[in-house]
Amino acid sequence: MSKSSKGSIIGRLQAAARLSRTVLAERLLDQGLYAGQDKIMLALSRENGQTPSQLAEKLGVRPPTITKTINRLAAQGFLEKRASEEDARRAHVFLTTNGEQAIRAIEKSVRRTEKQALKTLDKKEQKALQKLLARIEANLSKNGLPVEEEDVEEDA
CA 60 to CA 129: how far, in whole Å? 23
Angle CA 35–142–56, to nearest 5: 35
Cβ neighbours of residue 125 under 8 Å, at least 6 residues apart?
Answer: none
pLDDT score, position 36 = 87
pLDDT digits (tens, 9 = 90+) for 10-55: 999 999 999 999 999 999 998 889 888 999 999 999 999 999 999 9
Of the chain, the percentage scoring pLDDT greater than 70 comes to 87
pLDDT score, position 151 = 47
pLDDT of 153 > 50? The answer is no
Q: Going by DSSP bridges, is the β-strand pair 91-95/79-83 parallel, antiparallel, or unpaired?
A: antiparallel
pLDDT score, position 7 = 66
Is 13 or 153 the better-scoring residue by pLDDT?
Answer: 13
pLDDT of 146 > 60? The answer is no
Q: What is the DSSP letter of 32?
A: T
pLDDT of 57 > 80? The answer is yes
Is 7 or 76 the better-scoring residue by pLDDT?
Answer: 76
CA 78 to CA 43: how far, in whole Å? 13
Mean pLDDT on 101-129: 96
Ordered structural domains, the chain, with CATH: 10-119 (1.10.10.10)
Chain mean pLDDT for the chain: 87
Q: For residue 31, list its beta bridge partners.
A: none
- Whether 94 and 40 have beta carbons less than 8 Å apart is answered as no
pLDDT score, position 143 = 67
pLDDT of 93 > 90? The answer is yes
